[in-house]
């Protein structure tokens, strides 16, 4: 009889993180709420080729994430839970693909294939994005699919390998644009270096590069299946905005997030916590670095280092742009820990991080400065902060005292699990404490009732990101007006309502006219006034942030 096998350790970790974080935290404005609102507007407009946000065509991202949200809504109905589950499922696929790639690199080493996804999921920043409704894990899964296709060719299974690479590239374009080519082409173009001494018989470089060209054509064909109807429906101007915004704009002169070339370097130890602070990891990687004669090691380096350089040279930078290079680093570390396990040491630096977080939670209720900057910190109960601090301190002290007794792979598993528990504790603490400032469901419910009776809605801001559209199920645009234009709007719409943001010096709002609704919002306050009330007292507009 065949033996029953339990799911790998990393599957349980993914399940713990996904269920835990999605339960413990709400949808976070402004990015996550914006993407849900784009999918919602595509849904009710039946506009599958052109994304919309608040009545305007949306050129921020391609539609694959939104399509996957809508696909689930066809089956389950329109709910936030499915939309929030799409990105974690993409992350699960990325973990599985990492294990598959490990088996292609080291066919006889099942321990590395089991440990690499654990290390990847145990990396702090990757774990943070496991439950984030963003595009980056979907992009990473697409890039991993393409690289797996190239490795199939390398290992002699040429049939379908380049087609799989083209499929991954094409889906990556639909996920986040041509940025998917950066890690895949790094592996493909540098093949003569990393394959040196390991090229399969019969594979010529001419055939390899022709295959890369064929994969690129397949990717272009997949992208055109969307771009052509998108251009027809959205028009030439929208087509240029979408294609330019996603390529040359971010590469040459970023429209946002423009930062110096060295910006990523000091962030890497934080993003790669806890492995960047683990001496055993550095010793194991040092042993692997001496094996540059191995094509598998050179492949992981070709996959990660040139990509870091390219992302550093691109003007637009955000920490999550680096997520596609995390899998090769996890593969290298997993192979290092299983092939050349280092002698154990005490985990002083990772443990210190947990102890510092514990100290922060003890400090939080007494912090006048934080209470001034973030109103919700005033409401953190001392007993709650103390319990959370004690839990984090217990993790830190445990790491210091006994983890060094385990073998290297076991230490990595415990360290990864500690990262997962830390994130759940922070989600249960930080997000639960800050819930009133980030949960937009109450104000959205109020706006839903307002819109249901046909009252127009405006936001006293020149840049509205659709924060309320999904949860309020709005099907009419929210006006974006401020200053004198806002006064004109309230006089023209006496039955309307205005959502306004107030800085801390005007919070909570006092005097008359009183708002009909108010709540905390991120680092400030949010209130809703009737247009008639603002029209009677125009001086109120001066308080709006």
Q: What is the pLDDT of residues 158-214, one digit of tens each?
A: 678 999 999 999 999 999 999 999 999 999 999 999 988 667 767 888 889 999 999
CA angle 337, 340, 341 (to 5 degrees): 55
**Residue 445 sits in the same domain as residue 434:** no
| CB-based contacts of 482, cutoff 8 Å, min separation 6 | 460, 461, 462, 544
Domain annotation covers residue 1: no
Whether the Cβ atoms of residue 245 and residue 177 lie closer than 8 Å to each other: no
**Residue 282 sits in the same domain as residue 379:** no
**Residue 459 sits in the same domain as residue 497:** yes
- Is residue 386 scored above 80 in pLDDT? no
Domain annotation covers residue 122: yes
- How many whole angstroms separate alpha carbon 314 and alpha carbon 473? 37
**Residue 250 sits in the same domain as residue 289:** yes
Q: Which domain holds residue 394?
A: 348-438
Structure tokens at 74: 């066809």
Helices 136-154 and 80-105 pack at an angle, to 10 degrees, of 20
Whether the Cβ atoms of residue 329 and residue 272 lie closer than 8 Å to each other: yes
- Is residue 121 scored above 70 in pLDDT? yes
**Residue 423 sits in the same domain as residue 462:** no
Whether the Cβ atoms of residue 177 and residue 193 lie closer than 8 Å to each other: no
Domain annotation covers residue 201: yes
Residue 193 CB-half CA count within 13 A: 14
Mean pLDDT in residue range 131-141: 93
**Residue 169 sits in the same domain as residue 140:** yes
**Residue 417 sits in the same domain as residue 449:** no
Q: What is the pLDDT of residues 467-481, one digit of tens each?
A: 999 999 999 999 998
- How many whole angstroms separate alpha carbon 8 and alpha carbon 10? 5
Strand partners, 527: 500, 518
pLDDT at res. 377: 57
| Matching residue, tokens 């993180």 | 17
Domain annotation covers residue 324: yes
| CB-based contacts of 159, cutoff 8 Å, min separation 6 | none
Which CA distances in Å does 392 have to 120, 387, 417, 418?
22, 9, 13, 9
Of 321, 339, 357, which residue is a domain's last? Answer: 339
**Residue 399 sits in the same domain as residue 498:** no
**Residue 253 sits in the same domain as residue 314:** yes
Of 411, 438, 465, which residue is a domain's last? Answer: 438
Of 406, 438, 470, which residue is a domain's last? Answer: 438
Domain annotation covers residue 3: no
Report residue 403 CA to chain centroid gap: 30
Q: What are phi and psi of 460, to 5 degrees?
A: -80, 70
Whether the Cβ atoms of residue 8 and residue 92 lie closer than 8 Å to each other: no
498: enclosing H helix or E strand: strand 497-502
Whether the Cβ atoms of residue 42 and residue 73 lie closer than 8 Å to each other: no
- How many whole angstroms separate alpha carbon 529 and alpha carbon 419? 44
pLDDT at res. 3: 45
Q: Which range among 42-51, 116-125, 294-303, 507-516 shows the weakest confidence by mean pLDDT?
A: 507-516
- How many whole angstroms separate alpha carbon 528 and alpha carbon 521? 12
| CB-based contacts of 522, cutoff 8 Å, min separation 6 | 29, 437, 438
**Residue 319 sits in the same domain as residue 371:** no
**Residue 434 sits in the same domain as residue 481:** no
Domain annotation covers residue 2: no
pLDDT at res. 485: 87
Whether the Cβ atoms of residue 313 and residue 265 lie closer than 8 Å to each other: no
**Residue 208 sits in the same domain as residue 75:** yes
- How many whole angstroms separate alpha carbon 328 and alpha carbon 306? 12
Whether the full predicted model's pTM is greater than 0.85, yes or no, is yes
- How many whole angstroms separate alpha carbon 31 and alpha carbon 50? 19
- Of 250 and 389, more confident: 389
- How many whole angstroms separate alpha carbon 466 and alpha carbon 53? 7
Instruction: State the total domains in the chain.
Output: 3
- Is residue 413 scored above 70 in pLDDT? yes
Is the dihedral angle over the CA atoms 165, 170, 176, 180 positive or is it negative?
A: positive
Domain annotation covers residue 401: yes
Domain annotation covers residue 100: yes
């Amino acid at each position: 009889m065949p033996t029953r096998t339990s799911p790998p350790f990393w599957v349980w970790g993914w399940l713990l993180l996904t269920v835990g974080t999605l339960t413990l935290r709400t949808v976070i404005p402004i990015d996550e709420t914006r993407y849900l609102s784009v999918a919602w507007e595509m849904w009710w407009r039946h506009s599958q080729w052109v994304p919309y946000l608040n009545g305007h065509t949306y050129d921020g991202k391609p539609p694959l994430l939104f399509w996957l949200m809508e696909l689930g809504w066809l089956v389950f109905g329109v709910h936030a839970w499915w939309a929030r589950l799409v990105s974690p499922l993409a992350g699960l696929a990325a973990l599985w693909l990492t294990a598959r790639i490990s088996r292609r690199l080291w066919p006889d080493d099942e321990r590395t294939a089991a440990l690499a996804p654990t290390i990847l999921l145990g990396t702090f920043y990757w774990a943070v994005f496991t439950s984030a409704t963003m595009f980056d894990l979907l992009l990473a899964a697409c890039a991993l699919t393409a690289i797996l296709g190239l490795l199939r060719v390398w290992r002699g299974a040429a049939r379908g390998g380049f087609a799989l690479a083209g499929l991954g590239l094409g889906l990556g374009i639909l996920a986040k644009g041509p940025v998917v080519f950066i890690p895949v082409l790094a592996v493909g173009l540098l093949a003569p270096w990393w394959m040196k001494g390991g090229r399969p018989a019969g594979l010529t470089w001419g055939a390899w590069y022709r295959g890369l060209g064929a994969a690129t054509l397949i990717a272009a064909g997949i992208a055109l299946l969307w771009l052509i109807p998108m251009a027809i429906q959205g028009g030439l101007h929208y087509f240029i905005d979408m294609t330019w915004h996603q390529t040359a704009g971010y590469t040459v002169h970023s429209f946002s997030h423009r930062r110096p070339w060295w910006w990523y370097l000091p962030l890497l130890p934080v993003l790669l916590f806890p492995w960047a602070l683990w001496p055993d990891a550095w010793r194991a990687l040092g042993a692997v670095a001496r094996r540059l004669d191995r094509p598998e090691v050179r492949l992981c380096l070709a996959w990660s280092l040139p990509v870091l350089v390219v992302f550093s040279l691109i003007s637009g930078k955000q920490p999550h742009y680096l997520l596609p290079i995390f899998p090769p680093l996890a593969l290298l570390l997993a192979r290092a820990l299983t092939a050349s396990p280092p002698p154990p040491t005490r985990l002083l630096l990772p443990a210190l991080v947990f102890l510092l977080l514990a100290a922060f939670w003890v400090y939080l209720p007494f912090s006048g400065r934080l209470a001034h900057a973030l109103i919700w910190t005033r409401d953190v109960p001392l007993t709650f902060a103390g319990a959370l601090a004690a839990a984090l301190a217990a993790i830190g002290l445990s790491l210091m005292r006994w983890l060094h007794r385990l073998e290297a792979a076991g230490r990595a598993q415990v360290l990864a699990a500690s990262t997962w528990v830390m994130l759940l504790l922070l989600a249960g603490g930080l997000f639960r404490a800050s819930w009133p400032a980030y949960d937009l469901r109450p104000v959205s419910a109020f706006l839903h009732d307002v819109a249901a009776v046909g009252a127009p809605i405006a936001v006293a801001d020149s840049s509205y990101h659709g924060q309320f559209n999904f949860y309020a199920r709005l099907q009419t645009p929210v006006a974006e007006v401020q200053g004198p234009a806002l006064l004109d709007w309230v006089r023209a719409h006496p039955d309307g309502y205005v959502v306004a943001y107030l800085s801390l010096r005007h919070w909570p709002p006092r005097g008359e006219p009183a708002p009909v609704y108010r709540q905390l919002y991120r680092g400030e306050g949010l209130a809703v006034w009737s247009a008639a009330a603002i029209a009677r007292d125009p001086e109120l507009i001066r308080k709006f942030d």
